[in-house]
């Protein structure tokens, strides 16, 4: 089976914060990698969001797998992490 990478991995990371409300900081990232096989195109995608408020941090991560631009698998993890103010 011949595997040819179609494109360079794509990674985009974004940070957002406000000087007067630093507790609401946000970080997000998107990752994508595509492979062209002999008979199909596979694309892996990862989406991450990490944000906060005064009480908690919020983590969300989604992994997706596409075959010929059709979504075939997806899984999302969510977690709330309490701030301990150390």
CA distance 28 to 42: 23
Residue at 28 is within a domain: no
How many Å separate Cα 18 from the centre of its chain?
22
pTM for the model: 0.80
Count of domains in the chain? 1
Q: What was the pLDDT predicted at 23? A: 85
38 contacts: CB under 8 Å, gap ≥ 6: 1, 2
Which range of residues forms the domain containing residue 46?
39-86
Rounded to whole angstroms, what are the CA distances from 42 to 31, 39, 65, 73?
14, 10, 7, 11
What is the tens place of the pLDDT at every residue in 1-47?
A: 555 555 667 789 999 988 888 888 999 999 999 988 889 999 999 99
Residue 81 lies in a domain: yes
């Amino acid at each position: 089976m011949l595997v040819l990478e179609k494109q360079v991995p794509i990674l985009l990371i974004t940070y957002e914060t406000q000087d007067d409300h630093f507790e609401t900081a946000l970080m997000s990232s998107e990752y994508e990698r595509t492979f062209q096989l002999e008979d199909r195109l596979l694309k892996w995608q990862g989406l991450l969001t990490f944000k906060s408020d005064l009480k908690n941090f919020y983590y969300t991560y989604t992994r997706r797998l596409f075959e010929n631009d059709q979504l075939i698998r997806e899984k999302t993890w969510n977690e709330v992490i309490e701030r301990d103010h150390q």
